[in-house]
Homo-oligomer: A and B are copies of this chain.
């Protein structure tokens, strides 16, 4: 990381403490699902308008926002302009930004991607694919926080990530070991590394072993809510001290069912509060009554 830059994991943990809930809103807008009121003009402009509304609705409730690069990229240069605007707005709103770009390349190409994500778009964190090996991850880590894909929430991931190695580990556990080793060089005062891991909420059966392999990794946990992950599913993603995971919900927060007469942004705010409360109850369970 450049000298003078704050430590991404420490910053994220501070923001989580301030918000009182380790949650993240996933912003992956598609034009067809946007409220009519924002669907005016070019599609990329509608995306930006909707995204600014989401940022405004969830600021102060959640510590961070995960922005799906693909949604914007599909519109080419105009989409990238919209993404610039959205990233800047999230930062202004005090949200930690996770640019969900799942990039992965090696050498100078990885440096180019890192320059795009952390330089051009000013992301605090990005997601990255580690299949190429850790030299595909370190160029990103040199510039900001990185969540490496370890165990993804989609059904077909099992056919590769769950394969058993000769030493008894799964492929995902092997990636987890590489992530833990590479991340050991960037552990901050929070006790967490700038190299974290994506671990899907739908893979609860694997979270316990992955947590054991990666005690100092922050887990970014997608798949909560609409994809089927429950509060019970995400519990093993946290350490015993209740720290270390950031639970992400997307569709259930950004496309909530509005009450009669309720503005769409109010419905989003309500959904974000409800989501934060659900996760808070996982991390800080109410004491049992005597």
A residues at B contact (CB < 8 Å): 28, 30, 68, 70-71, 73-81, 84, 102-110, 112-113, 115-116, 119-121, 129-136, 149, 152-161, 163-166, 171, 174-175, 178
CA distance A28 to B161 in the complex (A): 31
- For A78, the chain B residues whose CB sits under 8 A away are 77
Q: List 24 A-B contacts (CB under 8 A).
A: A28-B108, A68-B112, A70-B109, A70-B110, A73-B112, A73-B113, A73-B116, A74-B116, A76-B80, A76-B84, A77-B84, A80-B80, A102-B105, A102-B129, A106-B153, A107-B154, A130-B160, A131-B131, A132-B152, A133-B161, A135-B154, A136-B156, A163-B174, A165-B166
**Could you list 8 further interchain pairs (A-B, Cβ under 8 angstroms) beyond the known A28-B109, A132-B152, A165-B166?**
A28-B108, A74-B113, A102-B103, A130-B131, A131-B152, A132-B154, A133-B160, A135-B154
Is the CB–CB distance between B159 and A132 below 8 Å?
A: no
Could you say which of B103, B105, B121 contacts A76, with CB atoms under 8 Å apart? Answer: B121
Is the CB–CB distance between A71 and B112 below 8 Å?
A: yes
A176 to chain B, nearest CB (A): 11
A74 to chain B, nearest CB (A): 4
A177 to chain B, nearest CB (A): 9
- For A171, the chain B residues whose CB sits under 8 A away are 160, 163, 171, 174
Residue of B nearest to A158 (CB): B133
CA distance A132 to B108 in the complex (A): 24
CA distance A121 to B73 in the complex (A): 11
- For A113, the chain B residues whose CB sits under 8 A away are 70, 73-74
CA distance A278 to B171 in the complex (A): 38
- For A28, the chain B residues whose CB sits under 8 A away are 108-109
Could you say which of B81, B104, B107, B129 contacts A77, with CB atoms under 8 Å apart? Answer: B81
Closest 8 CB pairs of A and B: A133-B156, A70-B112, A135-B156, A131-B131, A77-B80, A106-B154, A133-B157, A77-B77
CA distance A71 to B107 in the complex (A): 12
